[in-house]
Chains A and B, each alone.
Chain A
Amino acid sequence: MYDLKALYEATSVQNAVELRLEHPEAQIIAGGSDVLVQMREGKRAGKELISIYGLDELRGVTIDADENIRIGSLTSFSHITRDPIIQKYINVLGEAVDMVGGPQIRNIGTIGGNTCNGVTSADSASTLHAWEAIVELTGKNGVRRLPIKDFYIKAGQVDIRVEDGEIQTAILIPKASYENTFGHYIKYAMRNAMDIATLGCSVNVRLSPDKKTIERARIAYGVAGPVPMRAESAEAAANGAPSTREVIERFGLAVLNDIHPRDSWRASKAFRQHIAVEMAKRCLLESIRLAGGEIE
């Protein structure tokens, strides 16, 4: 038995918004693999829950009228990994979420829950930052969309307006972001399964038609700061540059200007900085390879 005060099960997105306005203190529960565990630990004990788990309209991956990839917020990690649209346009996201927890967790865990948690270590978050995802929220005033970097406010806090009854309904990847773009994610953790990232790094590139120049490189980290973050000076070092060993080296070292990891029981700051450089280089190298480029 869970120590919950009441359970309100939403029957539609509209109903979820109404329930949220009616019960502003209640916690939204999607798959529950964080919320129920926290409740068990006593952190959220005695709370009311609004369950949106039954809203099948929030599941699935589609291409919308504006050619955005639209990922319903309740799509589970395992369904994202298996989805043909994801595999075709943003395979790295499927690979990244395939490193969350273990198989059963990937069947229950949702991409909406992973981002609404606001934690820096979320395996989906660095890739979503690196691909400039748009977060869609639905509330009493309709739909609000914002870039994922603005969605994260601080550790454990995201921009969801409870007073407007908002819930997250989708994550979008714009066409300008995914077109001709290839990416790679590395999760550094102590175990291969059921572990949280010590550091996560996601890189993607678009190469020039002759495959010799990096037209656009984007990189984002998890656990390199209180929220997932881009490494902008590293991107500047690679954008428009030839895809050479030298550029990859410069790209890797430049991340140290951007990231500010901390000492924690999982790893020291110095160790995180060390692996951040190495992960950036390996991710860029692999992204270039996936994009059809060659490094001499």
Chain B
Amino acid sequence: MSQYKLIRCTINGKEVERMIDVRASLTDLLRNDFHLTSVKKGCEVGECGACNVLIDGECYNSCIYLAAWADGKNIRTLESLTGPNGELSDIQQAFLEEAAIQCGFCTPGFIMTAVEILETGKLYTRDELRKLLSGHLCRCTGYENILNAVEKTMKRRLGMPTE
């Protein structure tokens, strides 16, 4: 017998209300109910980071987060970053410039972690960034370009030279 719960939350700035199946993960909710397909289904056991989203400003793998827990939360996905006419945000642009994308499957997860890092407004060393980004697997890029993109955006936002 199925069990349902009414949840209210904010997704990408919009207040929403949904009747959810309690068996759903947050990934299921975001993809199936809201068509936010930047949230990828990768390993589904919290190891690869492809489903990573921001909840109240912190990163979570949405595949191991119950949709029922989203009640009252503020959730952000990659879709929230683009401008009204589809303009890319600085971090997305940097991923393109640095060739930090190949197949793109890991990219939304990485970028949402980058958003959490950038929103702290702190200057991190390359080693610190490496650790902060370590919850994501990428099988294409070898990570260096991803690090470059995050580092470059961090420095730009802090008004520092990037070369």
Contacts and interface: CB of A to CB of B under 8 A. Distances in A.
Given A40-B44, A194-B135, A104 B25 contact: no
Contacts of B44: 40
B49 interface: yes
Nearest to A98: B131
Contacts of B60: 104, 107-108
Interface residues of B, number: 30
Nearest to B24: A1
A2 B45 CA distance: 11
Contact of A36 (B28, B59, B64): B64
A210 B49 CA distance: 50
Contacts of B68: 7, 9, 51
B47 A194 contact: yes
A248 B52 CA distance: 44
B23 interface: yes
Contact of A102 (B22, B64, B134): B134
A103 interface: yes
A193 B46 contact: no
B45 A103 contact: no
A102 B49 contact: yes
Interface in A100-137: 101-105, 107-108
B125 interface: no
Contact of B23 (A4, A9, A41, A107): A4
Nearest to A53: B69
B59 A107 contact: yes
Interface in A68-112: 78, 101-105, 107-108
B61 interface: yes
A292 interface: no
B85 interface: no
A33 interface: yes
Interface residues of A, number: 28
A3 interface: yes
Given A32-B64, A33-B46, A108-B64, A103 B59 contact: yes
Contacts of A54: 69
B49 A6 contact: no
Given A78-B58, A108-B61, A7 B45 contact: no
A3 B66 contact: no
Interface string B7-38: 00000000000000111110010000000000
A143 interface: no
A224 B49 CA distance: 31
Contacts of A107: 58-60
B28 A1 contact: yes
A7 B22 contact: yes
Top-4 shortest CB links A-B: A102-B135, A193-B134, A7-B22, A1-B23
21 contacts: A1-B21, A2-B66, A7-B23, A7-B66, A32-B65, A33-B46, A36-B66, A40-B44, A40-B45, A41-B45, A51-B69, A53-B66, A53-B69, A101-B135, A103-B132, A104-B52, A105-B46, A105-B61, A105-B135, A192-B134, A194-B134
Given A40-B44, A108-B61, 20 more contacts: A7-B3, A7-B68, A33-B46, A37-B64, A40-B45, A53-B66, A78-B58, A101-B46, A101-B135, A102-B49, A103-B59, A103-B134, A104-B135, A105-B46, A108-B64, A108-B65, A192-B134, A193-B131, A194-B134, A194-B135
